[in-house]
Chains A and B, each alone.
Chain A
Amino acid sequence: MDNIVEVRGLRKEFGKTVAIENLNFDVKQGEILGFLGANGAGKTTTIFMLLGLITPSKGSIKIFGEEMHSSRVPILKRMNFASAYQQLPYNMLVWENLYVFAEIYDVKNSKKKIDDLLEMFELAHMRKKLSGSLSSGEQTRLSLCKALLNDPELLLLDEPTASLDPDQADKVRKIIAKRQRENGMTVINTSHNMLDVSELCDRILFMQSGQVVANGSAADLLEKFASKNLEEAFITMARSQLVEKV
């Protein structure tokens, strides 16, 4: 399997704060990688660097074999992202938002695509509603519709189920898993929801203070940290690092 993402020696400083320190990882085609870590561990900063929204202070990011900083537009055309904290413009209708992004991502037969996605995420009846009038869970699902518009080869998700009820979160996980199986889509998923990570992810990177402190499958991490479940492993990893620092 080819590497879709190659990150080497990544470092990001904001003033005197080091957010990411010597980050190295690869993501293989069709893999679902989970980023785990406490708040401020650097997960979202890494996602934003992969999207070209933040320029690294040092190191390189290669996606689809091309350098992000020099081939931003062609790379972004083949990927997409969704975040529970990033909504689409509130002053446009649901279908208008999706239409604009379908055009931007050069989606063929965009009307059918939009209808299918709205149906899939149970938002078809909201088609002509203002995006700003949607509940936070509906807005998150709308953001996921946008993220799947162009059938991305690489999908970046930042806590995609954070504002969803357990039923909707389960449906979203199933949709992502299904799309991954059907299209071989690669996914990088940051989440604090251990169910998301254990159900969806083939491999997990555990980040702390901008560095990867553990890397492996859910089973590997459970064994390594002698934990019964991922939540326990998460707490063990997070606290062991803090104890070391103290």
Chain B
Amino acid sequence: MNWRVIKALIVKYIFTCSRNNFRVMDIFFWPVMDLLLWGFVTIYMLKVSNAVPTMITFFISAIILWNILYRAQQVVSVSFLDDVWSRNLLNIFAAPISAVEYVGASYLVGLVQSLVVLVLLGTLSYYLHSLNILTMGLALGLLFGNLILMGWSIGLMTTSCILRWGTNAAALAWAVPGLLQPLSAVFYPVSVLPAWLQPFAYCLPASHVFEGMRQILAGGGVNTNHIVSAFLLNIVYMALAAWLFKACLDGARMRGALVKYGT
């Protein structure tokens, strides 16, 4: 792995993003809007019902953590789409860049963006909703790490689908996280889901992360089972995503699709 190549791809991403105000808005605007909207909805719910006061803590924390996964996933998928849209795919894939370097660069950008979003939303939630996410302590790092891994693997899987089906499948970059959100038990416990859906929910690392998060916030301490389950599932999904990406990239080279998408 050549770190200079990875650095070059990260610099390319920064150059591209810094010139596009809408992209910067996409990174910062929507997470902040999410936080404000759901924060106010939760405050309203507390006023009109007998909801437990911890509800706002659950909701706001869930929004912050979900945005970590979403950012990590988006960067991986959208940086590939950027190369397609700017017709740079041929230059990139005809250059001495390995698949590991190409994907690794987008993983790193996703990690940094997620960290920035975490700090931004954490600060805002402290001042707007008096919620200090740092009360989760070191467990926050474990939850964050698991969500990053899941975001990366979903991002790589959606990129693989775009490689397989072309830009017609570009909508998946935004649709897949939305599709997984109800199953990930982000805003409610897995027990709320119909019994037949619960085993599927437990197959997602995110549902373990959010169950673990609620337990910590409710004062129940860190549930190691959830953290370890999420991590083991993430290893499986990362391996699956890597295999899928390689298969789709090989298939695209065989069908001449890289040339078709790149010109």
Contacts and interface: CB of A to CB of B under 8 A. Distances in A.
- Chain A at the B interface: SS class: mixed
A86 B255 contact: no
Given A14-B256, A85-B263, A106-B2, A51 B94 contact: yes
A197 B87 CA distance: 28
Nearest to B93: A53
Given A54-B256, A101-B91, A92 B12 contact: yes
B256 A91 contact: no
Contacts of A14: 255-256
Contacts of B96: 73-74, 76-77, 104-106
B252 to A, nearest CB: 9
Interface in B232-253: 250, 253
Contacts of B258: 53-54
Given A100-B8, A104-B5, A89 B88 contact: yes
Interface in B1-44: 2, 4-5, 7-9, 11-12, 15-16, 19-20
Given A53-B94, A89-B86, A91-B20, A103 B15 contact: no
Given A55-B253, A91-B19, A103-B11, A86 B263 contact: yes
Contacts, number: 92
A51 B9 CA distance: 20
A178 B15 CA distance: 33
B197 to A, nearest CB: 41
A158 to B, nearest CB: 10
Interface in A45-99: 45, 48, 51-55, 57, 73-74, 76-77, 81, 83, 85-93, 96, 99
Interface of A: 14, 45, 48, 51-55, 57, 73-74, 76-77, 81, 83, 85-93, 96, 99-101, 103-106, 130, 146
